[in-house]
Amino acid sequence: MGNLGRFRRRKRRPINYYRRGYDRVHFESLEPRLLLDSITADAEAAIIGGLESFKDWAATLDTYADMAKRLPLVNMGLSDIADVSEIAEEEIYNVVQDYFGSHAEPTTEELTAYLAGLSEYTGVVDSSDSSKYLFEVNFHGERTDTTQLDLTDQSALEYLDIDSPIDLSLTGSMDLDFSFGYDITNSRFFLQFDSLNLNATAEASGINVSAELGFLNVSIN
């Protein structure tokens, strides 16, 4: 047989990726923080407890002199028509408590979406970061009722010719721009008002009576 030559296996040299211009692979460490979606049990308890304190505080608003002023023709005050205590309990405190009660693993995104889906809440923003849970809210709550024109207020009736009872439609409302949340660093609930306005109106055909009470830059720590 002829000489077929010698088969020689060459040893492969390792490729120098850096010299050939290959991109380096970088592994970046994640920022040590809570997953912002998750609301801890401590934060949940503090938020519920804090909003309960807000609800209790709202119940004291009818002790303010301006809240006790009687509207002409209806002989009722703002505290009677704009039931702040009921609004704060049913549409703020109960709403947030119901969310936590129905979600075993609450998240900031879900709570934000839950509030934003309610007609009373607009402009709901989740501004949470690694040091706090923070929710910014524009809230509008209202109550409606009916009563009869107060015929005992003769001074208000001086220029009116009334020979039968008149039904009045009452509307009381609370507009509240506020933020609430939980300070992770200091382990405490917080709530701050940007504005709080209460309004009450009494309307009937040809008659319109209203009163308004506003608090600006009120904060609770």
9 compared with 220, residue with greater pLDDT: 9
pLDDT of residue 65: 64
Work out the average pLDDT over 86-96. Answer: 97
Residues sharing a CB contact under 8 Å with residue 43, sequence separation 6 or more, in sequence order: 133, 182, 184
Judge whether 48 and 100 are in contact, CB under 8 Å: yes
pLDDT of residue 140: 97
Asked whether residue 72 carries a pLDDT value surpassing 90, the answer given is no
Torsion from C-alpha of 99, 103, 105, 106, nearest 10 degrees? -10
pLDDT of residue 63: 76
9-18, 100-109, 159-168: which range is least confident on average?
9-18
Question: Residue 150: which pLDDT band, with cuts at 50, 70 and 90?
Answer: low
pLDDT of residue 42: 97
- Average pLDDT, whole number, for the chain? 79
Dist. CA 53–CA 88, nearest whole Å: 10
138 compared with 148, residue with greater pLDDT: 138
pLDDT of residue 168: 82
Domain regions of the chain by residue span: 35-220
Residue type, 178: F
CA-based nearest residue to 167, from 203, 209, 208, 199? 203
Separation of CA 123 from chain center? 9
The string of pLDDT tens digits covering residues 21-69 is 545 555 444 444 445 489 999 999 999 999 999 999 998 887 776 776 7
17 compared with 165, residue with greater pLDDT: 165
| pLDDT > 90 in the chain, percent | 45
Asked whether residue 170 carries a pLDDT value surpassing 80, the answer given is yes
- pTM for the whole structure: 0.72
Alpha helices of 119-166 — where are they, by DSSP H? Answer: 154-157
Distances (CA, A) of 186 to 52, 158, 183, 205: 20, 61, 6, 56
170 compared with 11, residue with greater pLDDT: 170
CB atoms under 10 Å from CB of 99, counted, come to 18
Residue type, 74: V
Strands 188-204, 219-220: parallel, antiparallel or unpaired by DSSP? antiparallel
pLDDT of residue 153: 56
156 compared with 139, residue with greater pLDDT: 139
Asked whether residue 219 carries a pLDDT value surpassing 50, the answer given is no
